[in-house]
Amino acid sequence: MSLLSVTVKKARYVGVQAAQFNSYCTLKLQNVKSTTVTVKGANPCWEQDFLFETNDVNTGLLIEVWSKGMIWDRALGYNYIPLTEVQYSNEEGSCQQWLALEAELVMRDGEVVGTKNPTGHSLLVDCRFELPFVSED
């Protein structure tokens, strides 16, 4: 069993209406879904930590960024991180990276396997597997 640690830090949006965005992120791994709080503006800052347990590294983490609407929410972009590309580290911030948000999901057999068509928006996340705890005695 591996422990996936994800910190959703902040986003940068481009475009005319970016300042009016009231956005949040959802993180999906297998059947588990977590959501950040909703933050206003073109450069929202969440700094929210999430932990996921998984024993299947052949899957991936889907991050979705949404703009809250009056009637329905609108997707601002997606990013899919294959777990095989996630590093092991116990240092917070060591695996921090800006992810390009893309407009479309790439599906295979009903499963998300990637994303395509950049939106220009980006999201800063720290995504890493926690190293197993080793007692030093």
Query: What is the per-residue pLDDT across 57-103, written as a single tens digit (0 to 9) for each?
Result: 899 999 999 999 999 999 999 999 999 999 998 887 788 999 999 99
Does residue 137 surpass a pLDDT of 70?
A: no
Q: Of 20 and 117, which is predicted with more confidence?
A: 117
Q: In the block, which residue shows the tokens 């700094």?
A: 47
CA atoms within 13 Å, Cβ hemisphere of 72: 2
| E strand residue ranges, the chain | 2-12, 22-29, 32-35, 39-40, 45-54, 60-67, 74-82, 96-108, 111-129
Percent of the chain with pLDDT over 90: 80
Q: What is the pTM of this model?
A: 0.92
CA distance 62 to 1: 19
CATH topology assigned to domain 2-129: Immunoglobulin-like (2.60.40)
Tell me, what's the pLDDT at 131?
A: 81
